[in-house]
Each structure stands twice: as structure tokens, then as C-alpha cells.
Amino acid sequence: MKRLWSPWRHQYINSFKDEKSDIEACFFCEAISNLEVSKKNLVVYISNNAFVIMNKFPYNNGHLLIAPTSHHCDLHQLDSETLKEIMDLQVKSTLVLSEIYKPHGFNIGANLGRAAGAGVPGHLHYHVLPRWNGDTNFLPIISETKVLSETLEDSFDKISEQFRKLF
């Protein structure tokens, strides 16, 4: 194995270690500030310590995000009750989305930290993404375009109503 040494990159890599999350600029904190379901903020369900919000830039219709109501970026910062609620909301979200969209499966996961792909590294969140057989095609790859068959507003109405019905 060959190695290419580039010690000058060390300064660049270390510059990310000092990044602090800016709570004032956190859209999760802003969305949950009124502690109410809100079409404007896309919040569809709230529990005691966590909430479900629609992804404003979804991969598929029904793409949900689950986050603690408190601004934390690491799992170890959350108490066991909040961790349990987040898991419960993942289950509830799959039930709600199954009723509405009848997906063939789900992707559920979290990107912890910027290096792992977190778009909002300062506020821990999980993605719940409904999937269908054949829902991938060439458009996102060739033209960076994703076709969504439903508006966010219509999705919000269906999803928030189903949360009210079931829970």
C-alpha cells in the first residue's frame, strides 16, 4: 500500500472540531418552539420529549424526521425516556405511513455528525423513509431530479390526520 502524506490537511480537518451548533438557527428548535402541530412548520406529531416533522426536501412522499424536543447532537446526551419515545415514534411513523401510502418497506436511520452526512449536525434526528419496489430510477442520477407525486401540503394533511386517528 502506498501512502501520500499531506500534513497541511490536518489544519483543515481540525477546523471542524471546533464547530458549535447554533441553536438560534436550528430549524428543529424553531419548528417545535410553539409545541403544537403546525402545517407551517410541517410538525405532524408531538410527544413529551420528541416530535415528528416532515422532511421539507423529501426523497419520497411521506419522508419523516423524528427528533428530540431538546437541542442535542449525540445519543449519549439523551435520557432513557427520550430515547424510548424516539423509538416509539419510529414505530408510530411506520404505522401511519403504512396506512396512507402502503409502502413495501422503510429506511430508518440517523446520520450522527457532519462526517456521517448529517445535514443538521447540531440536532439529532432520525429519518423514516417509505420505500416501494422500483422507486429508484435514473432521474436523480442523470438530472439530479426527484419526482414526487404529492405536494407537502397534501402529505401534511394526510399524515397529521392519520396520527390523530391512531394516537
Catalytic residue annotation: 125
Cα–Cα distance measured from residue 74 to residue 77, given in angstroms and rounded to the nearest whole number? 6
Return d(Cα 53, Cα 141) in angstroms, integer: 27
Confirm if 79 and 38 have CB atoms less than 8 A apart.
Answer: no
Closest CA to 95 of 45, 143, 43, 39: 45
Cα torsion through 10, 15, 16, 18, rounded to 10: 130
